[in-house]
Structure 1
Amino acid sequence: MTQSDSKQEISRRRVLVGTAWATPAIIVAVGVPQAAASTTIDGDAIIVSSSAAGVGWGSSPNSVGLEISAYYAWLSEWQAAGITEIPATLTLTVSDGVNTYSKPVSIVVHQSGDAYEVIIEDIPPGDYELSYSVIADPIVVDGVTYQANDVFGGPIAMHVPDPDSSSTTPLVIIVPNTGGPGTGSLTRT
């Protein structure tokens, strides 16, 4: 046959080319069943408005403590799902590069805001870095998972004095949204 003929012959090559172009459309058209698909809605829902850390907050002069103020910032999709609080874990970690002391505390973050405190007792004297994390638990409503943001603070340098000496202990106030700590001091009596 020639090119001028109106009727073209179907060759094996044309069938293969046509199949190759059709195959991706067939694969794309095959989807995952709706019931098997999962939905996660992430949100910046936990806001730490202030935090403060210091030495000597517990029952011993060489304890390290942290207090944060946090609240749940309402998100419209979350509010529509009836979510009124966010369960989370607040963890205080103190490390000198060799030894690490850590204490997790379960908290529930509310819209009205709350203060949460965690104290680690009997830290050996020395120089440490303090950090904290607030890790939100996932919330599942009607098969949809709502995952709030995690919040991290620190590291902040701290000195834990020898309990037998009299010294001034640094107090560090961490304000996460401004990016810088403020400092002051506490004098142990």
Structure 2
Amino acid sequence: MAEHGDKTCAICLEEPKDPLNLPCGHSFCDGCLNQWRSRYGVTEEMRRKCPNCRARIPPSKEMVSSLILSCRNIKQMLEDNNQTSSASYDVLCQKLAQNVERVGEDWDGVTVLHDNNDKQALMMPDYIWKAIQKPFIKTVLKWINANRTEDRVNAISRPELLGAPALSVAAALAYQLTLTTLLLQLGADVDIRDSQGATAIA
């Protein structure tokens, strides 16, 4: 961890302008850090790490705004399809309001908001989503094991179904303890978040 007393931007090596102290302790000019991030594509992991020590850094305000905009688009799509009476719509509205309140105008730009979007998640077919809820354990396991080169155990549902990973769906249903256990044994990631920011254990 770097010393907070260090008064030099580690990118331009000058006195920081609009200094931004990261949780790892390194300090940068706000502009320098944003410019450094812009060198990497949206999906690249490097933009989420400190240029000095590679510790995870907070997302930029633009990244957070993009996430909130995505949630608003899903909300609008549900409204356009007259699905405002669905439970998913209510939950999405609540989560959107919480996230806007938590990271909207008041977001300090320093708090690290963890995500696991290091790679594009595989989309789960609807029949598997339904099989998880029934539970048709053999159907789910057969689909997961049919192609082990894909990360099927961490596949997510369609955005209309909140982009939830299989483990989150199974864990949310109290009677799914067997399937939840099997998914964990196959390597399901407990930290993957759905489109509402929830994980299987939180």
Q: Which TM class, normalised by the smaller chain length?
A: under 0.3
What is the TM-score of this pair, normalised by structure 2? 0.19
Which of the two has higher C-alpha Rg? Answer: 1
Higher helix share: 2
TM value normalised by structure 1: 0.20
Instruction: Name the one with the larger strand percent.
Output: 1
